[in-house]
Chain A
């Protein structure tokens, strides 16, 4: 085998022009694939980070309360009892926070927006304040400075609100301004609350378009709810990978404790309203989900991006494969007499096949490793540069206002192995043809 490796490597060196050209092409495709995968991973990380901070816990215990068969509210009643069961039954529990849910109109002196209300207890929050990055004034105020104003932790104070920069821009407000929240209580009456903007956070793509943060008390007051209610319990685990399995455990524990549960449905709670309103029951039913259910409407972004990435890469790889096949045909043609000689002196068909496959394997492996290293270096460089995303539409897709690329060793390995395999397979047919050359014909071959 050693001599075959030696011949294969030396043959590659022997044709520097052809080898360099093919290696460059394979390397660039690998770089391209690694960059796309890094962007996809970056979006995925944004999604996980944002989703598990802004939209859901790792596991969510929410519910619907129906006073009549025709009405439904996203409320969990008797939350103290529910929380006890969840705390007792959740393996690997880190902490639990409450999110009170509502929907209302936020009005300023110059504008108005519709938004979901997230009521929280600042003192109970874990990662929330670490993940919520505040925006410099210039992001929401024309002619504003790069200075960051406000403090999101002031949500511990009554009648406060944290907006995202896009919302603040539309409302024309800054930190310290007062806005009014208008909602409708469960009895149908209008209710309002004046709240002070205590911080303005950087946008997080689509997730930040329909959400504002207020203290729990604001939501309870607006909807005239008592203290033993909440919108959802967000359960955080030591290991996010255990989310789905833990959801099943929690569901079982709640059923055992006598709570009524909706069947599992992989959708965020606001997608379920219409169905719940049409269901023929009254009272309380809990709805237990995991974080991916709550952002399932966003996973299309990743699916579409990944599909597009692989499709583009596939097109490039097919072009490269044609190039490799062509190069290998040339190599076989140029070295037909050499193959004939090796066959004549006792080299088996299998070894000839291996020899040519080794050549394309080494070419592919060398080029993909260099290409992947280059791709990783570019991706890390771009990520470190924290390049701002100028377009709202792109921000929505990337779920971030900065270009975030993530490099994982596994993705590099996938890029290297898949492209090396593909380039090696491209040489299979020429290699088979070379191995099946009759020695006598190969020896008398003329160019």
Chain B
């Protein structure tokens, strides 16, 4: 299987004064369509860097990153922007909603950037995902009027509204209490089951890891080993192996 995400000998270095920080060292990884994958590791291990490269908001120092069949290193900023808009959904640790827009407008925002849909079609899409995350009654409220868990649900709705091939979530439960965090992971997993959307998210929370289909462990910029979480997901890829 070719994988919806492929990293081949990917290196990411950051210059820090006179020192170079090796954030990723020759990482090889393939993630197939429909997988529900956790990138696990302690703080500073390279989880976020890995997600940033997959999310096309950063570029590798060396190696090749293929997302949805496209080699990101060869794309212009405009092409990368288009790839992010059309193929990737983002869920951030701090929710990163646009505070001046209400919930409905936040969710609709990526669709407006995409263009091409009529107002009625956009409304239908927004209603669909807002219902899916259970926030219909809050649709006209502003983000600062919602709880952390509700905000993260909005972020999930915003990530899903364009029906992306991949949803990336950087520590989506880090700012939530454990119950809410579990609910969020369950919601993501449910969507993964229903729509076969590929979810890749980072965490260092063991409880969250247990709910993933596949856990990719990273330490000091290197992938450690393959591992299976307790629950096997619906992924047909059998992607529990880390292709290192």
Contact = CB atoms under 8 A, between A and B. Distances in A.
Given A11-B100, A337-B96, A347 B81 contact: yes
A304 to B, nearest CB: 48
Given A341-B98, A439-B57, 10 more contacts: A3-B112, A14-B100, A340-B96, A341-B90, A341-B92, A344-B57, A346-B82, A346-B114, A348-B78, A440-B52
Contacts of B101: 3, 6-7, 10
A267 B98 CA distance: 66
Most chain B beta-carbon contacts within 10 A, residue among A7, A348, A443: A443
Interface in A328-354: 337-338, 340-349, 351
A296 to B, nearest CB: 57
B105 interface: yes
Contacts of A351: 113
A439 B80 CA distance: 11
B119 to A, nearest CB: 10
Contacts of B52: 440
A443 B92 contact: yes
Nearest to B80: A439
A399 B112 CA distance: 59
22 contacts: A3-B109, A14-B99, A14-B100, A338-B96, A341-B90, A341-B92, A343-B57, A343-B81, A345-B84, A345-B113, A345-B158, A346-B82, A346-B84, A346-B85, A346-B110, A347-B81, A347-B113, A348-B78, A349-B77, A438-B57, A440-B57, A443-B57
A390 interface: no
A10 B105 CA distance: 13
A115 B162 CA distance: 86
A341 B86 CA distance: 15
A2 interface: yes
Nearest to A349: B77
A3 B105 contact: yes
A340 B98 CA distance: 11
Nearest to B158: A345
Nearest to A436: B77
Interface string B166-202: 0000000000000000000000000000000000000
Interface string A1-15: 011001100110110
A343 B55 CA distance: 11
B94 to A, nearest CB: 8
B205 interface: no
Interface of A: 2-3, 6-7, 10-11, 13-14, 337-338, 340-349, 351, 438-440, 443
Interface of B: 52, 55, 57-58, 77-78, 81-82, 84-86, 89-90, 92, 94, 96, 98-101, 105, 108-110, 112-114, 158-159, 162
B112 A2 contact: yes
4 tightest Cβ-Cβ pairs between the two chains A and B: A346-B85, A10-B100, A439-B57, A341-B96
A342 B99 CA distance: 12
A9 B94 CA distance: 24
Contacts of B159: 345
Nearest to A14: B100
A134 B92 CA distance: 80
B81 A348 contact: yes
Given A7-B98, A440-B52, A345 B105 contact: no
B57 A346 contact: no
A431 B58 CA distance: 22
Given A3-B112, A439-B57, A345 B90 contact: yes
A3 B98 CA distance: 12
A3 B108 CA distance: 9
Contacts of A11: 100
Contacts of A346: 81-82, 84-86, 110, 113-114, 162
A13 B112 CA distance: 22
Nearest to A11: B100
Most buried by B among A10, A11, A14, A346: A346
Nearest to A337: B96
Contacts of B98: 7, 338, 341-342
A440 B58 contact: yes
B77 A7 contact: no
A244 to B, nearest CB: 54
B58 to A, nearest CB: 4
A345 B105 CA distance: 14
B84, B86, B89: which has the most chain A beta carbons within 10 Å? B84
A119 to B, nearest CB: 74
B105 A6 contact: yes
Contacts of A340: 57, 96
Contacts of A14: 99-100
A443 B171 CA distance: 14
A202 to B, nearest CB: 59
A345 B92 CA distance: 11
Contacts of A337: 94, 96
Contacts of B112: 2-3
Given A2-B112, A351-B113, A344 B100 contact: no
A440 to B, nearest CB: 4
A355 to B, nearest CB: 11
